[in-house]
Amino acid sequence: MTKNITLKKDQVYKRLKGQIESGALQGGEKLPREQELSIQLNVSTITLRAALQRLAEERLIERIHGRGTFVCANPLTSSKPEKIMIIHDVDNSIAAMWRHIVPSLTSIAYSANYEVIITTNEALEMFSNQDIRQSVIDDNIIGIIAILSSFKGNEKIIDKIKVAEVPVVIPGGNYSDSAVTGFASIIINEKNAWEAAIIHLSEQGFTRIGVLGLRTSLSPLRHSSEADTRRLVEENGMYTDNMMIKEIAFNFSDIQKAIQELMALSQPPDAILCYSDFMAVHAYRALKILGLKIPDDIAVMGICGYPDAQRLTPSLTTIDFEYAEIARMAFEMILEPDRWYDPVSKKGKLRAKQFKLQARQSTKQQQTKEVSQYRNYSQLSFNNVQVV
């Protein structure tokens, strides 16, 4: 697929469609010959023909062999609303990213007078490429937001999405997803978010850190190795060891067992850093069963920014990825494809999303180290990546 032709084609299509719907081009009017019209519009005849084909499929124009191209006498000027397609995976767990991005996406789209079609990768893979392309035309889909990640390059869904020939954005994908798929992508430097969490715990005066990593993730410690995590903890004046770093599954039973083991150590941690806010919610429950109070007996910190975490008692400190902002950025990128697709390589660009420290009650200490009141964590970002 050639991205620059596709994007130019859509621009020509929208321009001619607007002229038909406004009456600037009236029913029965004959359009200039293709060569002449392409010069007027400053596009190639290939691009023009692609736009005209779409107008013909929508019965806005009629191409009569030997006579030329005419605006239909009664064009369908009711015009279908433009739509955004959202594709997510079939993970139904509370921690699935799509659960926290889709509501914001739909709200943003509707407020801007766009409609939304929501489907799953599994459902889309059932359809032929021809059916998908025709559906994109019939439903007037102008872009796709694919809440998927960890692409290897052999997934069927990649080709199913490409055949749509519209701008595609992956929100919250892995660093390699854009290179593998060719789609534009929003990324968060999770390794630096992990570092920012450790720095915060140090600045709050904690000295012994227990860590709960997610064993089933491709990066159990947010793209930081166990050795790197220990080094970061030590560089910030704290202590942890292999007995205090647990990589476990996301379920209450495993989390409860890990916390029981941590608190049974001869020198237990005074703070626990969790892979996610969702894991932290289970940690709260496990600590309560042990009769421990947060943060008086032990502090708890999460990462990701689950919106309901601030309603825990006490409210949870987290590194907030800001799901609603990710949704806004993805929608913006769909509407500005020329900015987010390289004109030479035709590949989608990476856009880095800054994270934010949300310091709440779960890590509050009376005595903290002498530190500056503000630390700009947003500067911890990928090299050579366009940052908003």
pLDDT tens, 259-276?
A: 999 999 999 999 999 999
Structural domain ending residue among the three candidates 18, 45, 71: 71
DSSP string computed for 122-134? HHHTTS-HHHHHH
Residues 229 and 358 in one domain: yes
Residues 197 and 234 in one domain: yes
Q: What pairs with residue 184 in β-bridges?
A: 169
- Write down the pLDDT at residue 76: 52
Average of pLDDT values for 326-333? 96
Any idea what the CATH number is for the domain that residue 219 is in? 3.40.50.2300
Helix (H) or strand (E) holding 149, with range, is none
Residues 261 and 297 in one domain: yes
Tell me the C-alpha to C-alpha distance, in Å, between residue 270 and each of 126, 248, 253, 309: 51, 20, 22, 20
Interior CA angle at 95 toward 323 and 307, to 5°?
Answer: 40
- What is the per-residue pLDDT across 42-57, written as a single tens digit (0 to 9) for each? 888 888 988 998 888 8
Are 51 and 16 within 8 A, CB to CB?
yes
Please indicate, yes or no, if residue 178 is contained in any of the structural domains.
yes
Structural domain ending residue among the three candidates 71, 106, 121: 71
Are 76 and 59 within 8 A, CB to CB?
yes
Tokens representing 339 are 């900015």
Residues 300 and 342 in one domain: no
Domain count, the chain: 3
Please indicate, yes or no, if residue 312 is contained in any of the structural domains.
yes
- What is the per-residue pLDDT across 120-147, written as a single tens digit (0 to 9) for each? 999 999 999 999 999 998 888 999 999 9
Average of pLDDT values for 239-247? 95
Which of 10, 18, 1 has its CA nearest to residue 158? 1
Contacts of 192 (CB under 8 A, 6+ apart): 355, 377, 380, 381
CA dihedral 50, 56, 62, 67 (to 10 degrees): 20
Residues 301 and 221 in one domain: yes
Residues 313 and 182 in one domain: no
Residues 66 and 103 in one domain: no
Residues 272 and 314 in one domain: yes
Residues 115 and 262 in one domain: no
Residues 230 and 378 in one domain: yes
- Write down the pLDDT at residue 154: 94
Please, how many CA atoms are within 13 Å of residue 359, restricted to the half-sphere of its CB? 16
Poorest-confidence range of 7-11, 63-67, 297-301, 326-330? 63-67
Please indicate, yes or no, if residue 28 is contained in any of the structural domains.
yes
Please indicate, yes or no, if residue 252 is contained in any of the structural domains.
yes
Identify the domain containing residue 134 by its residue range: 83-188+325-352
Are 89 and 98 within 8 A, CB to CB?
yes
Please indicate, yes or no, if residue 95 is contained in any of the structural domains.
yes
CA dihedral 162, 163, 164, 169 (to 10 degrees): 0
Residues 203 and 311 in one domain: yes
Please indicate, yes or no, if residue 215 is contained in any of the structural domains.
yes
- What is the per-residue pLDDT across 173-201, written as a single tens digit (0 to 9) for each? 888 999 999 999 999 999 999 999 999 99
387 pLDDT more than 80: no
Are 271 and 298 within 8 A, CB to CB?
yes
Tell me whether strands 168-171 and 141-147 are parallel, antiparallel or unpaired: parallel
DSSP 3-state of 370: coil
Residues 133 and 87 in one domain: yes
Tell me whether strands 184-187 and 350-352 are parallel, antiparallel or unpaired: parallel
Please indicate, yes or no, if residue 76 is contained in any of the structural domains.
no
Any idea what the CATH number is for the domain that residue 61 is in? 1.10.10.10
Which of 222, 226, 279 has its CA nearest to residue 256? 279
247 pLDDT more than 80: yes
Please indicate, yes or no, if residue 77 is contained in any of the structural domains.
no
Mean pLDDT of the chain: 88
Mark 183-218 as b/e (b = at least 16 C-beta within 10 Å).
Answer: bbbbbbbbbbbbbbbbbbbbbbbbebbbbbbbeebe
d(CA 89, CA 121): 6
